[in-house]
Amino acid sequence: MMKEEAKADKLLTGAEILVRSLQDLGVTSIFGYTGAAILPVMDELGKSSIRIVVNANEQCAAFSAAGYSRSSDKVGIAIVTSGPAITNTLTAVADSFADSIPLVVIAGQVPEHKLGTDSFQHIDVASVFGPTAKKVFSVHAIDNIEAVVKNAYYIAKSGKPGPVVIDMPVNLQTKSAPYESLDLSYFSGIYEQDSHLSDAQCQRFFELLQKSEHPLLYLGGGLNNERGSLAIRRFNNLFRIPSVNTLMAKGVVDENGDTDLGMLGMFGTPYANMLIQENDFFFALGVRWDDRVAEKVGFAIHATIAFVDIHPEKVHQIRNERRPKFSFIGDVATVLDNLSDYAQKHGITLSIDSWRQHAAQVKRSWPLNYNRSAGAIQQAEVLDQLNQLLPPTAIVTTGVGNHQLLAAQYIRAKRPKSFLTSGSFGTMGSGMPIAVGAHIANPEASVFVIDGDGSFRMNLGELHTIGTNQLAVKILLLNNHSDGMVYNLENSAYGGRHSATLRSGDVDFSLMAQLCGFGTTRRVARREELASALEEFVHSPGPALLEVLTDKEEILYPIVRPGASYADMELGPYIHKVEV
């Protein structure tokens, strides 16, 4: 027998097959937490070139893997053990499903002969993840492991991206079988397929667009990647149509542009929420029409709607609800390139100069603002100052709460995949673990976490992950000693009764960070110290934490309340029209 044949016939354990499959896929880092039911895999990973990042718990591991995906064009991998480890990952899997984030979770399981019993740390993985995962694979034979892992990777990132879970019984991790080395082109050929617009469809689109006087681009998370951002920027270099974006699309276009109006919706910028009331052609790209945006767009029924998305069910839903004059199921970047190619070939232009000037004027005339005479530091002023200091390579992650939406308002994202946040599921505690994944995927970038004390405390263990591993992650903790968004709601709708939002005591979190190995830590309570503290924080090497004590009475504005339309937007006492 020749050497090559002997090599092909060599038996590998299931754990070795799994690790070899990950290496074939180009995986260089995984996030996880070990245990008996996954130990054979972890042991093989330890022998391989793949880096193991050990998080504080399994939820954090899955969030970090999602952060790896959110900040790159790769697929994050989380590996956990059985039982409670599986349920711990559920929140992060549901979060990724809601935001269409590719993710693969490989979960250890009890031996096959104990499936369906009350064995220690056994749970039915398919039942747990069924409604929240794009696909759940239960491995039943060792010779399926390679195909399952490679299928899972491509399913996670194809079409409408999402999380895929693999249920791996421990006995299959130690059995042996040949490694087939299945060609990746086989899997990419199955899952990576583009649909293109025909010339007739392009013609129909431009007939509708050229009839409009006030067109508006509505940009969603389906564009939030390098290819999608390049495609929309190319398209809009041709037509210069004013744009608004969802929370998940920050950075798809440079928000500093005169007619790029930033985030719209329940807590959108005043100018985005104003301009959307005036458009007559609403071009929605890669959006899911969530309730914080779509419920407030009753006017859009009277505008011409064009809608492109890769998710067939969503396109069919919007066809029934909104009656778009143009819709297409496909990759939005491909569709935009088709439209740009057609427009350049046929010399198509738009005459909307007055509309562009009006959009820029609205943006200049209605700037964001906050209580500049307040005695206590405002979260908005901290974020306004931070925005001026962030380096070009900055990647920002956030927790969930007022600080998240204020960051979305004040941080002007310039690049795709540079503002990472839990959008649809709104998961508190996600900011730090997502930042861990973003740093591992982008070690040369400056990674910043913007967090509130409520969200921060939920996964406090990631201070240990960041500090002990000396990850260059900088945490800005805006501590108002309350769950600010709920505190505001209690003031407005519950008679000012604060049942569970106020902290009974104070803790200096900067000292905690110092104990975890952070080189730069500081706590600021006085406005006079803020500017210098932010400068030191932004330019410090290694892990850093700046805790700023902020005003718990600060209210997030603008707001469009549930059941209201954009015409009912409340600007609050500090946002006013300015003469420009």
Q: Indicate the angle between helix axes 332-346 and 199-211, nearest 10 degrees.
A: 80
Look at residue 297 in the predicted model and tell me its pLDDT: 56
292-312: burial string, b at 16+ Cβ within 10 Å, e else: bbbbbbeebeebbbbbbbbee
At 307, the pLDDT band (50, 70, 90 cuts) reads very high
* The pLDDT of residue 294 is above 60: no
Q: Where are any strands of DSSP class E within 260-393?
A: 260-263, 281-285, 304-309, 326-329
Q: CB under 8 Å to 425, separation ≥6 — which residues? A: 91, 94, 95, 98, 99
pLDDT score at 257: 95
The answer to whether 469 and 441 have CB atoms below 8 angstroms apart is no
Six-digit token string for 188? 């990419």
Predicted local distance difference test score (pLDDT) of residue 114: 65
The whole-chain average pLDDT of the chain stands at 93
pLDDT value, residue 113: 63
What domains appear along the chain, each with residue ranges and CATH number?
3-191 (3.40.50.970), 199-365 (3.40.50.1220), 379-553 (3.40.50.970)
Quote the pLDDT of residue 1. 36
Least confident among 16-30, 80-94, 180-194, 534-548: 180-194
| 4 has pLDDT over 70 | no
Cα–Cα distance, 565 to 449 (Å, whole number): 32
- pLDDT(296) > 70: no
Q: Across residues 50-68, what is the average pLDDT? A: 98
State both tokens at 11: 């038996």
Q: Which residues share a beta bridge with 176?
A: 13
List the beta strands (DSSP E) in 170-270: 176-178, 215-219, 243-245, 260-263
Residues whose CB is less than 8 angstroms from the CB of residue 9 and which lie 6 or more positions away in sequence, other chains included = 1, 178
176 Cβ contact partners less than 8 Å away, ≥ 6 residues apart: 11, 12, 13, 14, 142
Q: Give buried/exposed letters for 20-29 (b at 16+ CB in 10 A, else e).
A: bbbebbebeb
Confidence of residue 117 (pLDDT cuts 50, 70, 90): confident
pLDDT of residue 299: 46
Confidence of residue 193 (pLDDT cuts 50, 70, 90): confident
pLDDT of residue 6: 40
153-175 pLDDT tens trace: 999 999 999 999 999 999 999 99
CA 469 from centre of chain:
24
Residue 5's pLDDT band (boundaries 50, 70, 90)? very low
- At 231 the pLDDT is 98
pLDDT digits (tens, 9 = 90+) for 197-247: 999 999 999 999 999 999 999 999 999 999 999 999 999 999 999 999 999
Nearest-10 crossing angle of helices 379-389, 402-410:
40
| 53: DSSP letter | E
The H or E element containing residue 163 is strand 163-169
C-beta separation of 250 from 272 below 8 A = no
Give the separation between CA 80 and CA 109, rounded to whole angstroms.
10
DSSP 221-235: GGG-SHHHHHHHHHH
Nearest to 545 by CA among 516, 573, 577, 504: 516
CA nearest 448: which of 401, 368, 369, 387? 387
Measured over the CA atoms of residue 408, residue 411, residue 415 and residue 418, the dihedral's sign is: negative
417 Cβ contact partners less than 8 Å away, ≥ 6 residues apart: 70, 71, 72, 224, 225, 226, 251, 395
Task: Note the pLDDT of residue 320.
Answer: 82
* Helix (H/G/I), strand (E/B), else coil: 167: strand
- Tokens at 457, concatenated: 């405390």
Cα(516)–Cα(432) distance, rounded to whole angstroms? 14
Q: Which residues pair with 327 in a beta bridge?
A: 307
Residue 3 confidence (pLDDT) above 90: no
Using one digit for the tens of pLDDT, what is the confidence trace for 354-396? 999 999 999 999 999 999 999 999 999 999 999 999 999 999 9
Task: Tell me what pLDDT residue 300 has.
Answer: 44
CA 553 to centroid of chain Cα atoms = 29
Reading across the β-sheet that carries 473-479, which strands appear in turn? 419-420, 394-398, 446-452, 473-479, 544-549, 520-524
Average the pLDDT over each of 107-116, 335-344, 420-429 and give the range with the smallest value: 107-116
Residue 88 structure tokens: 């711990």
Residue 503 pLDDT greater than 50, yes or no: yes
More confident site: 566 or 462:
462
493-512: average pLDDT: 91
Sign of CA dihedral 239, 244, 245, 246: negative
CB 230 within 8 A of CB 258: no
The mean per-residue pLDDT over the stretch 172-194 comes to 92
pLDDT of res. 564: 87
Residue pair 54/78 in contact by the 8 Å Cβ criterion:
no
The CB density around residue 347, as the number of other CB atoms within 10 Å, is: 6
Q: What is the DSSP string of 75-134?
A: -EEEEE-STHHHHHHHHHHHHHHHHT--EEEEEEE--GGGTTS--TT---HHHHHTTTSS
Pick from 190-194, 197-201, 345-349, 480-484: least confident: 190-194
User: pTM score, two decimals?
Assistant: 0.94
Would the pLDDT of 328 be above 60?
yes
Q: What H or E segment, with its residue span, contains residue 12?
A: strand 11-13
Structure tokens of 231?
Answer: 């495609």
Identify the pLDDT of residue 7: 45
Q: How confident is the model at residue 314 (pLDDT cuts 50, 70, 90)?
A: confident
Instruction: Quote the CA–CA distance of 107 and 126 in Å, as a whole number.
Output: 11
Quick check: 8 pLDDT over 60? Answer: no
Q: What are phi and psi of 532, to 5 degrees?
A: -70, -35
Percent of the chain surpassing pLDDT 90:
84
